[in-house]
Amino acid sequence: MKDLKDKTAFVTGGASGIGLETARALAARGARPILADIEGARAEAAAAELRAEGADAIGLQLNVAEEAEWARAGEAAVRFGDVRILFSNAGVGGGSGGFETYDTEVWRWAYAVNAHAHLYACRTFLGPMKAAGEPAHLAITASMVAIVPPPISVAYISSKYATLGIAMALRNELADTRVGLSVLCPGMSATNIVATTAKLRPGAGEQGAAAQTAQNMSGILASGMSPAAIGERVARAIEAGEFFVFTHPEWKRMAEAQFAEILAAFGESADPDYGGDDIDGLIAANGARRMNVVTGR
């Protein structure tokens, strides 16, 4: 999507962090951002900030985890312009502690924000983007933890794995359309995700060791990469039509080690008499164009 000028861009989590800085980078290229955020006043203030910088932008309130709110957001967006760039970016942490101790409401909430919201976003905007037959782009924020999982929140890691899976599957669906697709996998970023998670999570706040872990993570992220640098990288990826968007190259050696372990685990067939899976048949049966980059399909 080489020309972003006058393209309406809908950005979730747009009041701060990566969402706001990506909107700013898109606006610098002439796009018209819609900043959607659960904190509506902050979204409107951020939009005013972009307007002061010369952008055509608006802010609106949206809880991405509530499907019913998306219809209202979609109507507001259409009044501003036909969305041609969708950045489904809003995310929260998943809490800490042992897996078996997770509060089920916190678990469901983490998935609603980090994974289910991508469905709601696409139900609202992707159909019209595809039907228009014009250059358009969908970007989704996953995380490096979806590639290399560190020993942190199981809810966060697994919901980001789900996000990566959504993007990988959509890659097939969008292959014959004019809608490009990017999946952003950042490492540590200087955002307020820890504070936002503590403020918005359902149920009681974290206590004891879990609370200490959250405090530790807040300190670590404070020294993370600037969201402005990440936002600029996302804008370039949209222009270039890149699928994987990696911003932190220091994670590469860990990814290499992990995938080496995976590949090394492939050995002889569990059934020596089995002829092997019909991969081409699997692809054809699902009307897919490709399995992955290795097959070239």
**120 included as an active-site residue:** no
Contacts of 89 (CB under 8 A, 6+ apart): 11, 12, 13, 14, 18, 19, 22, 139, 140, 141, 184
CB 87 within 8 A of CB 182: no
In this structure, how many other beta carbons lie within 10 angstroms of the beta carbon of residue 11?
Answer: 32
CA atoms within 13 A on the CB side of 224: 22
Strand stretches in 187-285, DSSP E: 244-246
**CA 108 to the chain's CA centroid:** 17
For residue 208 the two structure tokens come to 């004891």
- Which residues are 83's β-sheet partners? 8
For residue 261 the two structure tokens come to 């372990």
Which amino acid, residue 153? Answer: S
CB 21 within 8 A of CB 232: yes
Q: Buried b / exposed e across 158-196, counting CB within 10 Å, b at 16+? A: bbbbbbbebbeebbbbbeeeebbbbbbbbbbbbbbbbeb
From the candidates 102, 120, 156, 274, give the one annotated as an active-site residue: 156
Q: Which residues are catalytic, by number? A: 156
